[in-house]
A and B are shown apart, each in its own frame.
Chain A
Amino acid sequence: MKNKPKAYESIYTPFESIVLFGTIIVFMLLVLIPFVTLISGSLSNSDAITDYGVRLWPRKFTLDAYRVVFMYPEEMLISYGVSILVTVVGTIINVLLCSMVAFALSRSYFRYRKAITVYLMFTVMFNAGFIPQYILYRNYLMLYDTYWVLILSPAVMVGHIIMLRAFYSALPEELYESVRLEGANQFVVFSKIATPLILPGIATITFYSVLTYWNDPSTAMLYTEDIVPVALYLTRITNYIEFLKYAQENGFAGLDMSDYKIPEATVVYAIALATTAPMLCLFAAFQRYFVRGLTSGSVKG
């Protein structure tokens, strides 16, 4: 953005402005409308929306759905606590481990550079899949229903290492050479010299990492029971609804599946919003740093 736009650049022909602004505004609307629908749905009367469907404006405005959701708020608060804990600890571990590896891999004089890169990349291309993983985590690593499985299993994301490596590589080589000649310890170079210089990069990765941890339902779906992060909180409800629908359509021999109430759509919308809205606001507030990190990261290459 260093290049100041010249005056002629801000003059648009009518056709141009319609196409340019029009396209972007349409896309913005496409992004926003679903959220508006969801909010409106959660504020509607549930009978009204079963009869007429959700609209952009609440139908027979009511806070009933939220009353149901917040009748017993403890569960959701606990979920928030779990998610925050997992996200904070997980992000610290992930960013620390990733930056350590990334730093080492950015050193051209590091002997095992190539080997470690291949070692890490291989796991992205080829993995054992859910089943062997499940048995290993649960039987041998004893991680079932622990916080550690949520914290460790997504940690050391290879994509993050590659991004950070680029940041470290972009630092001027002379910087390292001078301290190398003085015989400085590599740990000191990493923590005192290199890392403070790539803080924007660290911030971007932290942001990505927080996002990944916060929005990860599948690890919890597989590996925890009593520890319910918010991503799973919502998932459980949608899974239950899908199960009931399936049961009603297909029937289960010998089981009576007809006496169950499918949770009202409005309540599901309210839960969806309650579980995600606070974090979304937080992300929205911080997103410009994210964009900035992304921008500087991409430009430097």
Chain B
Amino acid sequence: METLTEKAVQSDAAEFPAALPVQTKKKRNGVQKSEDRQLLLLCLPALIKVFLFSYLPLIGLVMAFQFYIPRRGLFGSTWMGFANFDYLLKSSIASRLITNAIAINLLGIVFGTVFSLLLGLFLFEITNKLFLKISQTVIIFPYFVSWPLVGVLVSAFLGEDTGMLTSVLHSMFGVDVDFYAQPKYWWGIITIANVWKTAGLSAVVYYAILTGTDKSTYEAAAIDGAGRFKQMWYLSLPALKMMIILNIIMSSANILKVDFNMVYFVSNNAAALYPKTDVIETYMFRALRTEGDYSIGTATGLVQGVVGLVLTIITNKVCQKVSHESLY
């Protein structure tokens, strides 16, 4: 859910300038007023939904400054000031959650971009219609799969006794690796799963953008004797440059946000892997469901939200510099 939204925001906000002149300053006549009313009415159901489901819970953020006791409620619990944040920073929790989130995101950005670009550029060079169709269908396929299923796929490879990879390592190299007990592999495994699931779709998007570009330059280049890979480097890549840059900038605004479903299901929520797989989302989830430290869980969420907000404002400024257009 999260990735889809963000992906869409990333790819499309980057694509579509929303900029058309707004005429708020002028005095509005009766027709305009009734139009405004009608349009507002169209927005209303969505606005109400968002208010109820996204704005109302914000009140609960006061928990981050309390020791929240359910029966005493939000305003009867003991106020703690910044003690929860203090606890987070002094213990190793905050640094662990933040390191993991940044590592998983950075690896995802780097490898995701490299692979999807490579595939997109290569697809663009393919002229065989049938091959194009089949390869597009296949590489986009993982995007339709749910994260729990990806989790099962990962376990079919890495499961302790039954996994394909573990058993091959055991029988051919005599190496016994219990992946689900060794955190050190998991940044990599999560990244592979991430790239596996999403690179195909991004590749098709890149491909789609390329098909929309002007082909005459390619012909000219070909006549000048530029090889296929030269064309790729000097013509196709620059055509995608802006989108790539914007994508990267926007992902960096979400550097502390990790897709909960991805981490939770790919790692099977295995406790032994928390040193490398625990991120703010999973920590909050556990705080609610097992460890019961509502306040500290909420505090981590608040930190994430504030950092995200600041980063978004910065990246929006950067994007404006880069592309001369605002994202929102």
Contact = CB atoms under 8 A, between A and B. Distances in A.
* Residue of A51, A137, A154, A238 with most chain B CB atoms under a 10 A cut-off: A238
A131 B298 contact: yes
A119 B36 CA distance: 17
A231 B148 contact: yes
B55 to A, nearest CB: 7
Interface in A241-263: 241-242, 245-246, 249-250
Interface stretch (B2-10, B83-91, B92-100, B104-112): B2-10
B174 interface: no
B79 interface: no
Contacts of B147: 215, 217
A235 B265 contact: yes
Contact of A123 (B45, B55, B128, B287): B55
Contact of A127 (B24, B54, B196): B54
B305 A136 contact: no
B35 A116 contact: no
A61 to B, nearest CB: 16
B211 A31 contact: no
A246 B284 contact: no
Contacts of A231: 146, 148
Given A37-B157, A38-B153, A156-B50, A294 B135 contact: no
Given A32-B138, A242-B268, A128 B61 contact: yes
Nearest to B211: A1
B294 to A, nearest CB: 5
A239 B141 CA distance: 25
A190 B162 CA distance: 56
Interface residues of B, number: 135
Given A159-B5, A299-B211, A132 B60 contact: yes
A166 B215 contact: no
A187 interface: yes
Given A212-B1, A242-B268, A34 B157 contact: yes
A54 to B, nearest CB: 5
Given A31-B196, A239-B269, A298-B11, A127 B1 contact: no
Contacts of B57: 127-129, 132-133, 136
A23 B162 contact: no
Contact of A52 (B40, B126, B167, B298): B167
B136 to A, nearest CB: 6
B16 interface: yes
A110 B39 contact: yes
B60 A136 contact: yes
B137 A186 contact: no
B260 A218 contact: yes
B173 to A, nearest CB: 13
Interface residues of A, number: 133
A34 B304 CA distance: 34
Contacts, number: 373
Q: Chain A: interface secondary structure?
A: helix
B186 to A, nearest CB: 14
A177 interface: no
Interface string B293-307: 010011011101110
Given A20-B126, A130-B297, A187 B148 contact: no
A107 interface: yes
Interface in B1-51: 1, 4-9, 11-13, 15-16, 18, 20-24, 28, 31-32, 35-36, 38-43, 45-47, 49-50
B134 to A, nearest CB: 8
B130 interface: no
A71 interface: no
B63 interface: yes
B228 interface: yes
A28 B139 contact: yes
Nearest to A250: B271
B125 A136 contact: no
Most buried by A among B6, B155, B289, B312: B155
B127 A10 contact: yes
A249 to B, nearest CB: 7
Contacts of A32: 138
Contacts of A34: 153, 156-157, 196
A98 B139 contact: no
A169 B42 contact: no
A97 B136 contact: no
B50 A24 contact: no
A60 interface: no
A53 B167 contact: yes
A169 B13 CA distance: 13
Nearest to B68: A131
A144 to B, nearest CB: 13
Interface in A1-55: 1, 3, 5-6, 8-10, 12-13, 16, 19-21, 23-25, 27-28, 30-32, 34-35, 37-38, 41, 49-55
7 contacts: A51-B161, A54-B162, A104-B43, A157-B8, A158-B5, A231-B148, A272-B153
Q: Which 10 A-B pairs have the closest CB atoms?
A: A53-B167, A132-B60, A129-B301, A159-B8, A301-B15, A215-B146, A128-B57, A186-B38, A166-B16, A299-B212
